[in-house]
Structure 1
Amino acid sequence: MTVEMIGEKTILVSLCEGDMRRYSLSLEGDDDKMRSGLKDLLCRVGEICGLDHRGKSYLIEALPSSKGCLLIISVHAVKHRRKFRIKRNRARELCVFFDADAMLDFWRSRPQGGYAVYRYEGSYLLLPGVSVSTETMARLSEYGELYPVSEATFARIREHGAILYPGTYPMTASREAI
């Protein structure tokens, strides 16, 4: 095995067939035994070149040669990856009434509050608050269709829709206080 530094962050390693057997390496296949051998080889190369393995990542290119293989190893500092977490909330539903009569019939039935009714793009929409009971949501299906939507859709309707019934919806209460 011969090891040469061919750049500040690049190492050329020439392996003969005996070295490849010693480190359980082959140009074909990918198993745990080969990975273990590659780790041992990287440690040995690090000792020869004086490289510290902590905080480093490697790009290894293997090229076949007549009596073994050539490895071109590029050494890079590991960048700390920022971790992002996507918070998934339970999908909220809005009710699109079949027509104005259906909306009025629902309003006359006077279920508990916790919702607001808007006119938006020619439709009558009910936006339930967080405290709407499952019984009220079940009753809504008699008067319209329920659709799961995102918070962004709720915000767009509240911003651009005409409010018909404010109910006790939290956002409309804060808007009235302003």
Structure 2
Amino acid sequence: DRDGANAVVALCANLLAKAAILLSPALPKTAAKIADTMGFEINTENFTHFITQNSTKDFTTKACDVLFNKVENELMTPPVPQNEPQSEQITIDDFAKCEIKVGTVLECENVEGSSKLLKFKVDLGEGQPRQILSGIAKFYNASELVGKQVCVLANLKPAKIMGLESQGMILSAEDGGRKLVLLGTHSQVKNGAIVG
């Protein structure tokens, strides 16, 4: 139906002309480009003709450059933070290798010759307490930690620190060196309880 197709194209052309006139205050360059392509001017006379009187017109168009560049890729790709280190992801199997247990601090004292280290005796429900060294002396007094329950990475390979063996790692959260909080439980649990 050639006549029907021509009528649809003519309708679309007139709607585009009206849109260009109405958008010209906000998008003057784009509206002017549309008008030039379609062979009319954006002026008071054409505003009256197309908008006020709702009249139509026949157009002879010419080739036109792209009005708006595509921006899909920029919008769909999230920005990558420049100065944030990317954490290495692990699998559930990797996490399963970590044995984190809850234990009660039986003893705690400063390590002689160190301003950072505290020496703990921690009951992890193993029949014999573990000796664990932790560099948290500037955040806690030794005496206030006795009786607290803490979370311990229990299957960490023992290490020698200042000649003393440390048999695990007490877990904590640190806020940029300003504050440190030992990880524990909301309520008392059995020593040796597994965290996970």
Shorter chain as normaliser: what TM range?
A: under 0.3
Higher relative contact order (CA 8 A, sep 6+): 1
Structure 1 or 2: more helix by fraction: 1
Structure 1 or 2: more strand by fraction: 1
Higher Rg of the two aligned structures: 2
